[in-house]
Every structure is written in C-alpha cells, then in structure tokens.
Amino acid sequence: MTEGGAAPEAAHRVCTGITALAAAAWPHAGRLYEGSDFEWSDFDDGLLAKVRPAFPELPPAAVALALRIWGHLHGLISLEVYGHLRAQTTSPDKLFRQELTALIRSLGIAPGN
C-alpha cells in the first residue's frame, strides 16, 4: 500500500478510470475542444505522473476533460450521498440520468450509441 493508505490508491484508480473514459471519447470529443488553451503546466505534477504514462497520446485538453467528467459525477453523487437531493426532488434518479445524458452529449457521443 502506498503512503497515505487506501484513499490515495482509490483516487489513483478513479483518476485513471475516468481518464480512460476521456481517452475513449476523445476521437468524438476532440473536435469540440479545438482551440483549447490547456497546457501540461496547467496540471499538477502528481496527476501527470499517473496520467501521461498510461495515456501518452492524450493532449492536455483531454486531461482537462477527464477532470470535468470527474467533477460532474462527483458533484451529483456527493449531493445524493449527503442527502441533499432527496430534500429537493422526489426523483434523484431522473436528475442523475439526465446529467449522464448531458455528459455523454458533451463527449460528442449520441446517447444510446
């Protein structure tokens, strides 16, 4: 186990898994991010040490996309875990489904494909 216990290992798996999703979507999503001004210097060295060896072909904009995906999913899941969604809606599942549909569209992929 790495220093810091299981949490850093779990974060590494999440980071790598979501970056794999961004990498798989990049052939569709890349055109949507043309003109992006992200550079490798915009990211933490620790993140790059994990992501770049695993996905050497990805440009900085794809890594930014992975972080955006993580943020979208983490935000909604956190609201559900802490009980904030149930206080606002009787159908959090509909909200989550709609968010995933919007996320898929933001990747340049039509839902259902």
- The long-range contacts involving 97-103, CB below 8 angstroms and separated by at least 24 positions, are 99/72, 103/69, 103/72, 103/73
Look up the pTM and report it.
Answer: 0.79
Break the chain into its structural domains and give their ranges. Answer: 6-106
Predicted local confidence at residue 72, as pLDDT: 86
Band of residue 2 on the pLDDT scale cut at 50, 70, 90 = very low
Taking only the tens place, the pLDDT of each residue in 41-67 is 999 998 899 999 999 999 999 999 999
